[in-house]
Amino acid sequence: MKNKLQTIREEFFEKLKQAQNAEHLREIELKYLSRKGELSSVMHNLKDLSLDLKKELGELANNIKKELEHSFEETKKIIGLQADNKFIDITIPGEKVKRGHLNPITIIQREMEDLFTSLGFIIADGPELESDYFNFTALNIPPLHPARDMQDTFYVDIKNQEDSFDLVMRTHTSPVQIRTMKKFGAPLKAVIPGRCFRNEATDARHEHTFYQFEGIMIAENINFANLKSLLEIVGKKLFGPQTKLRMRPKFYPFVEPGNNGEYTCFLCEGQGCRVCKNTGWLEIVGAGLIHPNVLRAGGIDPEKYSGLAFGFGLTRLAMLKYGINDVRLFNSGDLKFLEQL
Ligand code: FA5
């Protein structure tokens, strides 16, 4: 039996040396290493031997088995690598790298930024976690004023040994009006794109997280005509030269007079359709002349300067432009939604 084992070993290595492909390997495995292979059948016969012989030959058989299996695996690796290399065709074009693309909100934001920087506006930025003061009080919405109910948000209490104050996730980009006034003074032309948050019962048009695009222009003698002509320019740029603007009164505590800017619907051109809910008009921007209290909070003298301000819902603009019917899709993380745009 010892001889038989040695013969199997020699034959195995002879065959392995000659093996050139996966098929040869399969044959060797079947003949020597499989459950019905030669090695197994010798090991099976060990059971009829005396205890001493069983011990001696059993050990030998096991060692040979390990040796053959190890060599077999090594050869398999080498033949596998050769097979892989053999089929490399360097003339085949490489695999296409998948490119990402800009989010629809970023596209609209950049379009708006291009327009306003070409008109001499700077682009300003501010924190998303804002003080209660900048988000409300400085914008002429004092504590306990009913106007606070218009924009509920997420409050963050910061308490430490020296201090205790309220921070809020900003409900609009308007607090950056005050920050920009304090930093640059008047005259001033700035736009402020950014993310806002509200404690909303969400639906197809309301999200807890969305984007706005704010603008202010402060100088001597800024008046309503300046606001109207500026918003007309934006409307034509966004929706085409035929676009008309109408402005209707709306209360915002930080502007006086305050109003809602509406554009003729780009789809039906004012005739009435699904996009404009048959009104012919799209409500897109809140705007007005900056309230004197707000200029004061920004360190600007309202006797000398006046200003205009507006705030677009950037997310809603992207919805209109791309025909997206549910605002919640933007934050859904669903790549299928983003990839189709
Ligand atoms: C404001 O936030 C004012 N700060 C805008 C403003 C600036 C007025 C300067 C005057 C002067 P309002 O709450 O209407 O206003 O929001 C402005 C726009 O943000 C809305 O028209 C809408 O397009 C968008 N918006 C508001 N809430 C949500 C929401 N939950 N989800 C998506 N978009 C929203």
Residue ranges covered by each domain of the chain? 2-84, 104-126+173-338
Residue closest by Cα to atom 22 of ligand 1? 313
* Closest CA relative to residue 214, chosen from 334, 88, 113: 113
Ligand 1: nearest atom to the Cα of 208: 30
Ligand 1: nearest atom to the Cα of 316: 23
Place of tokens 């001033």: 188
Determine whether domain 104-126+173-338 maps to CATH 3.30.70.260: no
Spans of the chain, pLDDT less than 70:
81-87, 160-165, 341
- Give the HSE-up count for residue 64: Cα atoms under 13 Å, Cβ half-sphere: 25
Write down the pLDDT at residue 338.
78
Contacts of 278 (CB under 8 A, 6+ apart): 272
Q: Is the CB of 255 under 6 A from ligand 1?
A: yes
Q: Is the CB of 200 under 6 A from ligand 1?
A: yes
- Report the b/e string of 205-240 with b at 16+ CB within 10 A: eebbbbbbbbbbbbeeebeeebbbebbeebbebbbe
According to DSSP, the residues that pair with 287 across neighbouring strands are: 259, 310
Write down the pLDDT at residue 165.
66
Write down the pLDDT at residue 163.
62
Q: Which amino acid is at 158?
A: I
- Write the Ramachandran bin of 101: left for phi over 0, alpha for psi from -120 to 50, otherwise beta: beta
Q: Is the CB of 153 under 6 A from ligand 1?
A: no
Q: Tell me how far apart the alpha carbons of residues 196 and 2 are, in angstroms, rounded to a whole number.
A: 83
How distant is the alpha carbon of residue 126 from its chain centre?
Answer: 20
At residue 282, φ and ψ (nearest 5 deg) are: -115, 120
Residue closest by Cα to atom 12 of ligand 1? 286
At residue 84, φ and ψ (nearest 5 deg) are: -60, -45
Cis peptide before 146 (omega within 30 of 0): no
